[in-house]
Amino acid sequence: MNYRKLIAVGAAFAFVLAACSSGAGETTTTAGGGATTTASGGQIVVGVSWNNYNEERWAKWDEPAIKAALDAAGAEYISTDAGSSADKQLNDVDNLISQGANVLIILAQDGTAILPAVQSAIDQGIPVIAYDRLIEDPDALYITFDNVGVGKLEAQAVYDLVPKGVYAIIKGNQADANADFLREGYTEVIGAAVDSGDITICCETYTDNWDGAKAQTEMEQFLTQENNNIDAVLSENDGMATGVVAALEAQGLAGQIPVSGQDGDQAALNRIALGTQTVSVWKDARELGKAAGEAAVQLAQGAALSDVKGVQTFHSPGGNDLTTILLTPIAITKDNLNVVVDAGWIDQATLCAGVPSGTVDACP
């Protein structure tokens, strides 16, 4: 009997673990040791530790950009895949070093758990680049898009259209620091107008898992509460904007109330062409890969962190002053949709599905 109980408890625990790990984002676990290429000695070898190579983005956009930057400098590329396991990533970092990597680029599964491995690499004289996700170590170079900047661009596009009125704000996952960075960016743009009373924030909430369906329910409740007297919606990403627009659609307000978003989701870009979403801030992953590759080469050639091109100081949430390269994202609105088409991010047929011809320049 006790034995059975033990199994049940064990199973329940496993379930909770599984639920937690899948809550961290869309991850599919991968089996085995990951792709590893061996290095030859004597030249620059850049080791990249991916946290989860199964996500489409890394293979399709980031890795080719890093490789291209390294090829241009004649450096070699080796990589490992941690398969969403913070434990495995610690070993991966050691493996990359023993394979001869003299610079590391780490996309951390867990920015805190990776700290011992990062510190030990730096102690061995191997520079570390924190790629896209924060690692709270002042000796590592942090390369990311400026998330406060993303928030600023989102708010600016909406503020230009609605300088006075009632705003609703749909924020992302509370546990994700990005949700607060974005909100900070909003404040930088609309804060003064809020203080002067031109803008009223009627409603504001976090949304579990950045879930679009949840955002739809939230927006419905906001509209009910305010009796539809909402003039603009700041939604932190495109997935939630999907829900917001669906809720507005049900009130016949879609296209009349500006809605923001980010990520350049294909569905969101289509909505921009249709006129039901105002802006999607797009972070070109290839820019990020290129910057990381170039920085890696400079560090391998002996440059100090502060000498790397384009760095600035970033005061992190953990209270550290980090050396950082902050890339500027692009705000995509109906006026510059051609940017994403030209970049090959989306094809014109997908972008213009259901769009009457001649309403936006990108859809002739």
**Minimum CB separation from other proteins for residue 72, in Å?**
29
Q: What residue type is 118 in one-letter code?
A: V
β-strand 45-50 against 76-81: which pairing, if any? parallel
Per DSSP, 110 falls in state S
In terms of CB distance, is 90 or 240 closer to other proteins? 240
Segment contacting other proteins by CB under 8 A, of 35-43, 51-59, 64-72, 313-321:
51-59
Element (H, E) at 276: none
The residue within the footprint of other proteins, chosen from 9, 17, 28, 315 (CB under 8 A), is: 28
Closer Cβ to other proteins, 69 or 247, answer by number? 247
Q: Which residue number, 65 or 346, has a Cβ lying nearer to other proteins?
A: 346
Report the C-alpha gap between 272 and 282 in whole angstroms.
13
CA proximity to 155, closest of 248, 278, 284: 278
Binding residues for other proteins restricted to 166-195, rule: CB under 8 A:
174
Q: How far is the CB of 233 from other proteins (least distance, A)?
A: 15
Give CA–CA dist 242/68, Å, rounded. Answer: 35
Tell which positions 4-23 bind other proteins, by CB under 8 A. 11, 14-15, 18-19, 22-23
For residue 170, the SS3 value is: strand
Which DSSP string do the residues of 92-140 spell out, in sequence order? Answer: HHHHHHHTT-SEEEE--SSTTTTHHHHHHHHHTT--EEEESS----TTS
Kindly state whether residue 83 participates in binding other proteins, applying the rule CB under 8 A. no
17 contacts 86 by C-beta, under 8 angstroms: no
Cβ proximity to other proteins, 261 vs 289, nearer residue = 261
Query: Shortest approach of other proteins to residue 305 CB, angstroms?
Result: 34
- Looking at the DSSP assignment, which residues form a beta bridge with residue 168? 203, 233
Shortest Å, Cβ 251 to other proteins: 4
d(CA 357, CA 324): 44
**Type and span of the H or E element at 166:** strand 165-170
The site string for other proteins over 246-275 (x = CB under 8 A, - otherwise) reads x--xxxxx--x--------xxxx-xx----
Q: Is 66 in the site for other proteins (CB under 8 A)?
A: no
Q: Is the dihedral of CA 248, 251, 254, 255 positive or negative?
A: negative
Q: How many CB atoms lie within 10 A of CB 120?
A: 14
Q: Which is nearer to other proteins, 23 or 116 (CB)?
A: 23
Q: In whole angstroms, what is the distance from residue 312 CA to residue 310 CA?
A: 7
Residues 85 to 124 in contact with other proteins, rule: CB under 8 A: none
Q: Check residue 209 for interaction with other proteins (CB under 8 A).
A: yes
**How far is residue 279 CA from its own chain's centroid?**
16
Contact set for other proteins, span 230-249 (CB under 8 A): 238-239, 242-243, 245-246, 249
| Shortest CB 26 distance to other proteins, Å | 5
Q: Are 135 and 118 in contact (CB under 8 A)?
A: yes
CB of 237 to other proteins, least distance (A): 11
Residue among 6 and 72 whose Cβ is closer to other proteins: 6
Give backbone dihedrals phi and psi of 173, rounded to 5 degrees, phi first: -60, 130
What residues from 295 to 354 belong to the interface with other proteins (CB under 8 A)? 353-354
Check residue 206 for interaction with other proteins (CB under 8 A).
yes
Residues 89, 67: Cα–Cα separation, whole Å: 21
Separation of alpha carbons 303 and 205, rounded Å = 44
Q: 23 or 163, CB closer to other proteins?
A: 23
Out of 144, 207, 235, 262, the only residue in the binding site for other proteins (CB under 8 A) is: 207
| Binding positions for other proteins, rule: CB under 8 A | 11, 14-15, 18-19, 22-23, 26, 28-29, 55-57, 174, 203-213, 216-218, 220-222, 224-225, 228, 238-239, 242-243, 245-246, 249-253, 256, 265-268, 270-271, 353-354
